[in-house]
Homo-oligomer: A and B are copies of this chain.
Amino acid sequence: MSEVRTIEINESVFATNEKEADAIRSMLSDRGIFFVNVMSSPGSGKTTFLTALINMLKNEIKIAEMDVDIKSDLDAKKVADATGVRCLQIHNGGLCHIDADMTSRAIAQFGVDDVELLILENIGNLVCPAEFDTGAHKNIMLFSIPEGDDKPLKYPLMYEVSDVVIITKLDTKEFFDFDMDLAKEHIRELNPNAIIFEVSAKTGEGMEEVADYFRAHINR
């Protein structure tokens, strides 16, 4: 088992989230670090997806992950054990989201020396995290096939703020009544610029395209 540090970060008292987020982005850009905020519904496969992705990239890119959870340390431990990369567990005091100030304090405690790709695995929630800019360069959301093709219509803001939408659990497609074209149409109506990937982290299908997206964003 890897040793994973856990820190407690409670809600920010600042109302200036956008300003704080911009400061994080600019600080990380200056240091050549690509920072992504990964959001989704609970159980859509964030941890499995990130584990697979990190294992594909870790020999070429220096990666670190911060994992937000209400209480457990499950995800950070899982990712650290399965990939060997440095992970931080953030406990956010029972909140439904993480904001820029919380992210900033987590980054300060975690330390990002010798990091090229910094991943924030946000709390599983399609509503609240969409409202808070964390300072990430890109918002990435996962949308799993078992959730149903109508979900973009029900949680529109999350789809509007996401630069990348990754449709996950592609290996289960035949077991669910999921219309891929309709799902993509819903995503594009809300966010015409969203980059859409279809993957199965389990079989590896579609993962190479996602890995290429990350490779293209690393400054060398």
Contacts and interface: CB of A to CB of B under 8 A. Distances in A.
A96 to B, nearest CB: 4
Interface in A137-151: 144, 146-148, 150-151
A124 B126 contact: yes
Contacts of A155: 42, 70, 124
Chain copies in complex:
2
Nearest to A171: B175
B153 A74 contact: yes
Interface residues of A, number: 33
A94 B126 contact: no
Contacts of A107: none
B125 A96 contact: yes
Contacts of A71: 153-154, 156
B70 A124 contact: no
A169 B95 CA distance: 28
A148 B48 CA distance: 11
A35 to B, nearest CB: 23
Contacts of A204: none
A124 B43 contact: no
Nearest to A95: B127
A69 interface: yes
A97 to B, nearest CB: 9
A29 interface: no
A55 interface: no
A146 B126 contact: no
Interface of A: 41-43, 69-72, 74-75, 94-96, 123-128, 144, 146-148, 150-151, 153-157, 169, 172, 175-176
Report the 9 A-B pairs with minimum CB-CB distance, sorted nearest first: A43-B147, A146-B146, A96-B127, A41-B42, A72-B153, A96-B128, A43-B148, A42-B126, A72-B154
